Amino acid sequence: MTKFTIESWQESDICKESTNETTIRSATIKKHYIGVLQGNSITHYSLCYLPDGSAIFTGIEVFTGEYNNCNGQFALSHEGKFEKGEAKGSLTVVAGSGIGQLKTISGHAHFCAGEQSEHELHTSFTL
């Protein structure tokens, strides 16, 4: 298992629909990982906030560091939903995005993140 902390979160409006309070935003998130994954990442999200307070998000995360004692970099595609104070997401390694010793990495992961400062990422990766 891997744990991560969010080091920074910067979010801004892309557009806002005034008739139903739906807001489209972009966000850049920096994370730090410890565990099976050790390193740092930057994620770029597109988010659609709905009038009920929930949000749908998609994004790309670029991880740099170690996986199973192999160094390199790879990208993850994100898809998820924020609802009732929790973000739940599914991640997939972007095929062909691996660099260095992580050149052949593949697989998927998922997370559930709430108000706590440290979150769990459950991975199923292969090299």
Cα separation, 85 vs 79, in Å, equals 17
Domains and CATH numbers, the chain: 2-126 (2.40.350.10)
pLDDT in the model for residue 27: 97
pLDDT in the model for residue 16: 62
- Minimum mean pLDDT among 19-23, 36-40, 54-58: which range? 19-23
DSSP string, 11-60: EEEEEEETTTTEEEEEEEEEEEEEESEEEEEEEEEEEEE-TTS-EEEEEE
pTM of the predicted structure, to 2 decimals: 0.92
* For residue 63, pLDDT beyond 90: yes
Cα separation, 38 vs 54, in Å, equals 31
CB neighbour list of residue 68: distance below 8 Å, 6 or more residues apart: 36, 127
**pLDDT tens sequence across 6-33:** 999 999 988 766 567 788 999 999 999 9
**pLDDT tens sequence across 77-107:** 999 999 999 999 999 999 999 999 999 999 9
Mean pLDDT of the chain: 94
Residue with tokens 């108000």: 115
